[in-house]
């Protein structure tokens, strides 16, 4: 799955992204950056992700660089 970071607080690790396929807002799992190249996320950053059992985004990886803009909501 692919999406765009909507918000991220590096202090708490709380954040959300917008799913590219249906524009749904998905919370980030506490372990979203574990094993990832990411140490920080910025608003508008495109990422690939998986969903955990609770429906939160996890296993974040670099997204497609074809279109790095934030989707119009």
4-60 pLDDT, tens digit per residue, is 999 999 889 899 999 999 999 999 999 898 877 777 899 999 999 999 999 999 999
Instruction: Return the closest-CA partner of residue 13 out of 62, 22, 36.
Output: 36
Is 70 a member of any domain?
no
Cα separation, 21 vs 49, in Å, equals 12
- Is the pLDDT at 66 greater than 60? The verdict is no
Cα separation, 30 vs 64, in Å, equals 23
**CATH number for the domain harbouring residue 30:** 2.40.50.140
Is 54 a member of any domain?
yes
> What is the total count of domains within the chain?
1
- Is the pLDDT at 68 greater than 50? The verdict is no
Is 71 a member of any domain?
no
pLDDT at 13: 86
Is 22 a member of any domain?
yes
Is 67 a member of any domain?
no
Is 42 a member of any domain?
yes
pLDDT at 59: 92
pLDDT at 38: 74
Is 69 a member of any domain?
no
Q: Which domain holds residue 53?
A: 2-62
Cα separation, 7 vs 5, in Å, equals 6
């Amino acid at each position: 799955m692919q999406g765009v970071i909507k918000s991220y607080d590096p202090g708490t690790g709380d954040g959300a992204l917008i799913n590219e396929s249906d524009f749904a807002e998905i919370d980030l799992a506490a372990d979203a950056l574990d094993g990832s190249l990411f140490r920080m996320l910025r608003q508008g950053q495109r990422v690939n992700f998986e969903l955990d059992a609770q429906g939160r985004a996890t296993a974040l990886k670099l997204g497609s660089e074809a279109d790095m803009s934030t989707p119009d909501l």
